[in-house]
Amino acid sequence: MENRISEVQIIPIKPKDGLIAFASILLDEKLYLSSIGLHRKLNGSGFRITYPNKRVGNRNIDIFHPINRELALEIEKTILEKATKIFD
């Protein structure tokens, strides 16, 4: 699998409800995606990511998210590898 993610940035924040940072990535050197939430797992072992959404009335509307499992796993793996270096 060719690495399509050429850059990852992680910006730590004051932890709140498990959220510890925001990540951004550069995809295919053409698309910048930001505000990806980085959370510490509830059991304290490892991390998980969430994609940005906006609350409109009673609904949450996704801003963006991968629709292909392969890309979703690649994004998650790349962000979590960098997060592990920073936070563990």
Using alpha carbons, select from 20, 32, 40 the residue that is nearest to residue 64.
32
Give the 3-state secondary structure percentages of the chain, helix then strand then coil, rounded to 5.
20, 50, 30
* pLDDT computed for residue 63 by the predictor: 96
Convert the pLDDT of each residue in 10-66 to its tens digit: 999 999 999 999 999 999 999 999 999 999 988 878 899 999 999 999 999 999 999
Per-residue three-class SS string for 30-66: CEEEEEEEEEECCCCCCEEEECCEEEECCEEEECCCC
Q: Which domains does the chain have, with CATH numbers?
A: 5-87 (3.30.1120.40)
Residue type, 28: D
